[in-house]
Chain A
Amino acid sequence: MDGVIGFFADLAPNLQLLVDRSPQILDGVRTTVLATVVGALLALIIAFVFGLAQLAKVAVVRIVARVFVEFFRGTSLVVQLFWLAFVLPQLPYPLGFRLDPLLVGVIALGLNYGAYAAEVVRGSINSVPKGQYEAISALSLSPVRGMFRVVIPQAWALMIPSLSNLWIQLLKGSAIVSSVTLYDLFFQIEQVRDRTGTWFAYLFALVAYFVIAWVIVVIMNALEVRAKHSIGRGPALSQSWRTLFRAPGSKTAEGGLA
Chain B
Amino acid sequence: MPEKTPGPDTAGTPHLEFRDVVKSFGDNTVLNGLDFTVAKGERVTLIGPSGSGKTTILRLVMTLEELTGGYIHVGGVPLQYEEQGGKRVRIPDKRRRRTTTDIGMVFQHFNLFPNMSVLENIVEAPIHVMGLSRSEATAKAEGLLAKVGMEEKRDMKPSQLSGGQQQRVAIARALAMDPEILLLDEVTSALDPELVGEVLAVLKDIAAETDISMLIVTHEMQFARDVSDRVMMFDQGSVVEEGPPAQIFSEPAHQRTRDFLSAVL
B-contacting residues of A (Cβ < 8 Å)? 129, 131-132, 134-135, 137-143, 145, 149-150, 153-154, 230-233, 258
A135: B residues at CB distance < 8 A: 107, 111-113
B114 and A231 contact, CB distance less than 8 A: yes
Q: Does B109 contact A (CB under 8 A)?
A: yes
B100 and A149 contact, CB distance less than 8 A: no
A132 and B111 contact, CB distance less than 8 A: yes
A141 and B125 contact, CB distance less than 8 A: yes
The distance in angstroms between the C-alpha atoms of A150 and B109, with both chains bound, is: 16
Among B6-14, B66-74, B157-165, B220-228, the one that faces the other chain is B157-165
B64 and A138 contact, CB distance less than 8 A: yes
A140 and B100 contact, CB distance less than 8 A: yes
A139 and B125 contact, CB distance less than 8 A: yes
A138 and B62 contact, CB distance less than 8 A: yes
A143: B residues at CB distance < 8 A: 93
A150 and B115 contact, CB distance less than 8 A: yes
B129 and A134 contact, CB distance less than 8 A: no
B159 and A233 contact, CB distance less than 8 A: yes
A137: B residues at CB distance < 8 A: 62-64, 100
Other contacts beyond A135-B107, A141-B129: 16, CB < 8 A: A131-B109, A134-B62, A137-B63, A137-B64, A138-B62, A138-B64, A139-B177, A149-B116, A150-B113, A230-B115, A231-B114, A231-B157, A231-B159, A232-B157, A232-B158, A232-B159
Q: Does B41 contact A (CB under 8 A)?
A: no
Contacts A232-B158, A233-B159 given; does A140 touch B97 at CB 8 Å: yes
B159 and A138 contact, CB distance less than 8 A: no
Contacts A232-B158, A232-B160 given; does A141 touch B111 at CB 8 Å: no
A134: B residues at CB distance < 8 A: 62, 64, 107, 111
The distance in angstroms between the C-alpha atoms of A139 and B129, with both chains bound, is: 8
The distance in angstroms between the C-alpha atoms of A141 and B97, with both chains bound, is: 8
Those 5 A-B pairs whose CB atoms lie nearest each other, nearest first = A232-B159, A258-B159, A139-B125, A135-B111, A131-B111
Q: Which of A138, A149, A233 contacts B104 (CB 8 A)?
A: A138
The distance in angstroms between the C-alpha atoms of A139 and B113, with both chains bound, is: 12
A145 and B62 contact, CB distance less than 8 A: no
Within B82-97, the residues touching A (CB, 8 Å) are 93, 97
Q: Which of B116, B157, B158, B174 contacts A138 (CB 8 A)?
A: B174
Chain B: which residue is nearest A156 at the CB level?
B115
Shortest Cβ gap from A159 to chain B (Å): 14
Within B137-189, the residues touching A (CB, 8 Å) are 157-160, 173-174, 177
Q: Which of B103, B105, B125 has the most CB of A within 10 A?
A: B125
Q: Does B205 contact A (CB under 8 A)?
A: no
12 CB-based A-B contacts, threshold 8 Å: A131-B107, A131-B109, A131-B111, A134-B111, A138-B62, A138-B104, A139-B124, A140-B101, A149-B116, A232-B115, A232-B159, A233-B114
A154: B residues at CB distance < 8 A: 114-115
The distance in angstroms between the C-alpha atoms of A33 and B107, with both chains bound, is: 48
A140: B residues at CB distance < 8 A: 97-98, 100-101, 125, 129, 177
The distance in angstroms between the C-alpha atoms of A138 and B104, with both chains bound, is: 6
Q: Which of A131, A149, A153 contacts B124 (CB 8 A)?
A: A149
B125: A residues at CB distance < 8 A: 139-141
The distance in angstroms between the C-alpha atoms of A138 and B109, with both chains bound, is: 14
Chain A: which residue is nearest B183 at the CB level?
A138
Chain A: which residue is nearest B99 at the CB level?
A140
B105: A residues at CB distance < 8 A: 138
B158: A residues at CB distance < 8 A: 232
A153: B residues at CB distance < 8 A: 115
B100: A residues at CB distance < 8 A: 137-138, 140
A139 and B62 contact, CB distance less than 8 A: no
Shortest Cβ gap from B16 to chain A (Å): 16
The distance in angstroms between the C-alpha atoms of A153 and B177, with both chains bound, is: 23
Q: Which of B93, B101, B104, B115 has the most CB of A within 10 A?
A: B115
The distance in angstroms between the C-alpha atoms of A210 and B162, with both chains bound, is: 44
B104: A residues at CB distance < 8 A: 138
B113: A residues at CB distance < 8 A: 132, 135, 149-150
The distance in angstroms between the C-alpha atoms of A154 and B124, with both chains bound, is: 16
B97: A residues at CB distance < 8 A: 140, 142
Chain A: which residue is nearest B117 at the CB level?
A232
Shortest Cβ gap from B192 to chain A (Å): 16
Q: Which of B64, B98, B101, B113 has the most CB of A within 10 A?
A: B113
The distance in angstroms between the C-alpha atoms of A143 and B92, with both chains bound, is: 13
Shortest Cβ gap from A189 to chain B (Å): 44
